Structure 1
Amino acid sequence: MPKSRNDLRPVIKLRSTAGTGHTYVTRKNRRNDPERLELRKYDPVARRHVTFREER
């Protein structure tokens, strides 16, 4: 029986730490990144690059 599509690469929400409420939606590999993901991305509301943290 094949694995479910959401088993290994779940869809996650990345929320801005700048407090603007802006989010990005992406997928992550659970095997390579078991802990919460943290990426620096552009926040168009704050108009600068800020850290985005994974929400569950």
Structure 2
Amino acid sequence: MARTTQRPVVTLRSTAGTGVTYVTRKNRQNDPDRLVLRKYDPVVAAHVEFREVR
């Protein structure tokens, strides 16, 4: 079966400016806005906000 666009692949980039990224999926129906998650940034060695980039 073909994948639908209900759960697109999104890239999360660190707000610390280190260039670290995570790749995940999100449900467009539940999260129509850009996704913001607190995740670990190994360059800063701390948890920071990661925002969805398009």
Give TM-score scaled by structure 1 length. Answer: 0.90
Supply the RMSD in Å over aligned alpha carbons: 1.2
5+ residue gaps, structure 2, are none
Largest Rg, 1 or 2: 1
Provide structure 1 residue ranges, at least 5 long, that are not aligned to the other structure.
none
Matched positions, count: 54
Instruction: Give 1:6 shift.
Output: 4.1
TM-score by length of 2: 0.93
**Where does residue 40 of structure 2 map in the other structure?**
42
Q: List, as ranges, runs of 4+ consecutive aligned residues in structure 1 with deviation greater than 4 Å.
A: none
What percent of counterpart residues are identical? 70
